């Protein structure tokens, strides 16, 4: 059947259409996305303002039309941290349902981590052993660890690249003092969780997902996305440590000139790099392999697992 996943994330609203059936690899058929950056549209009270809600509803309408055009039989709509943590989340969800008919399932941070872990496990298989999975979104950082398809530990921290950029790095280029303050904040948040994972043992394989990690790997020399899903890509901590001071000195416009960096994400790249560097350092990770599957694929796989074969 043709499935659609509608992901209302902190950076983008993304419709992914796949051809899928139980026991088979989901095959991408279409992708439709719009960058709203909801994590940066929250007002002083933590609410998504009228303009942001209007844009969101319009974007959901467009995604529904795209899903219909592509023959989607079953739509799986969900929202992550930007909607989850908005002070007016219930009102936003009710308006979306009233005006589009879409009832968004709001995932908890732990659910995000668990579904992303499932996607990474299915991609790399059982031979990868104990996995540590890191995922940087626009609003949050997810960390999960385990041997099976369900992780033994999974946490979500409010350390998304969009959220941190909006709250900590107002300058362009950023003030070095702001960068140092953000670095301290990020590492203090991550350090609180390290003990919960380290007592479970050393991972056999460390995996990184999300556009932030892909872009950091690309500027560090990894293969282009055009080279295909099956080219191995990795991000080394030493390369990241070289790039952080360089990114600090760049404006958003200068970062756009780097390979693989999109205009919509260039402003967030430094905050994402600080989170990635902090996580890899505190967890003792020298290198992480980039996984092309993440949360959306995890949602699809979980849906397929519950379909009759």
Q: What is the mean pLDDT of each run of 10 residues along the chain (309 residues)?
A: 93 94 90 87 87 94 97 96 93 97 96 98 97 96 98 97 94 97 98 96 97 97 93 97 98 97 94 98 98 96 85
Query: Residue 62 half-sphere exposure, CB side, CA atoms within 13 Å?
Result: 15
Q: So what's the pLDDT on residue 309?
A: 63
Question: Looking at beta carbons, which pairs linking 232-236 to residues 24 or more positions away fall under 8 Å?
Answer: 232/289, 233/289, 233/290, 234/287, 234/288, 234/289, 234/290, 235/208, 235/276, 235/280, 235/287, 235/288, 235/290, 236/286, 236/287
Per the omega criterion (within 30 degrees of 0), is the bond before 173 cis? yes
What pLDDT does residue 206 have? 98
CA distance linking residue 217 with residue 214, whole number of Å: 5
Total-model pTM: 0.95
User: Kind of pairing, strands 27-35 and 205-209?
Assistant: unpaired
pLDDT at 11: 85
Task: Indicate the angle between helix axes 50-69 and 89-100, nearest 10 degrees.
Answer: 40
């Amino acid at each position: 059947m043709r499935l659609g996943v509608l992901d209302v994330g902190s950076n983008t609203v993304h419709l992914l259409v796949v051809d899928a059936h139980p026991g088979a690899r989901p095959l991408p058929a279409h992708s439709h996305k719009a960058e709203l950056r909801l994590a940066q549209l929250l007002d002083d009270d933590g609410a998504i303002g009228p303009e942001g809600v209007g844009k969101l509803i319009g974007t959901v309408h467009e995604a529904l039309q795209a899903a219909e055009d592509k023959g989607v039989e079953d739509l799986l709509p969900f929202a992550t941290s930007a909607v989850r943590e908005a002070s007016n989340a219930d009102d936003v969800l009710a308006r979306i349902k009233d005006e589009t008919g879409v009832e968004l399932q709001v995932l908890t941070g732990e659910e995000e981590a668990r579904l992303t872990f499932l996607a990474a496990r299915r991609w790399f298989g059982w031979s990868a052993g104990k996995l540590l999975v890191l995922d940087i979104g626009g609003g949050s950082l997810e960390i999960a660890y385990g041997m099976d398809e369900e992780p033994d530990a999974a946490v979500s921290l409010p350390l998304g690249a969009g959220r941190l950029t909006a709250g900590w790095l107002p300058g362009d280029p950023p003030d070095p003092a702001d960068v140092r303050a953000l670095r301290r904040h990020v590492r203090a948040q991550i350090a609180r969780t390290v003990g919960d994972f380290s007592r479970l043992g050393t991972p056999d394989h460390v995996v990184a997902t999300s556009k932030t990690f892909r872009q950091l790997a690309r500027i560090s020399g990894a293969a282009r996305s055009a080279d295909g899903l099956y080219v191995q890509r990795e991000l080394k901590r030493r390369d990241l440590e070289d790039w952080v001071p360089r990114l600090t000195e760049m404006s958003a416009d200068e970062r756009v000139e780097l390979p693989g960096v999109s205009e919509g994400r260039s402003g967030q790249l430094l905050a994402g790099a600080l989170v990635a560097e902090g996580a890899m350092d505190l967890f003792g990770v020298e290198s992480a392999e980039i996984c092309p599957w993440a949360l959306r694929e995890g949602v699809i796989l979980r849906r397929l697992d519950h379909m009759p074969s």
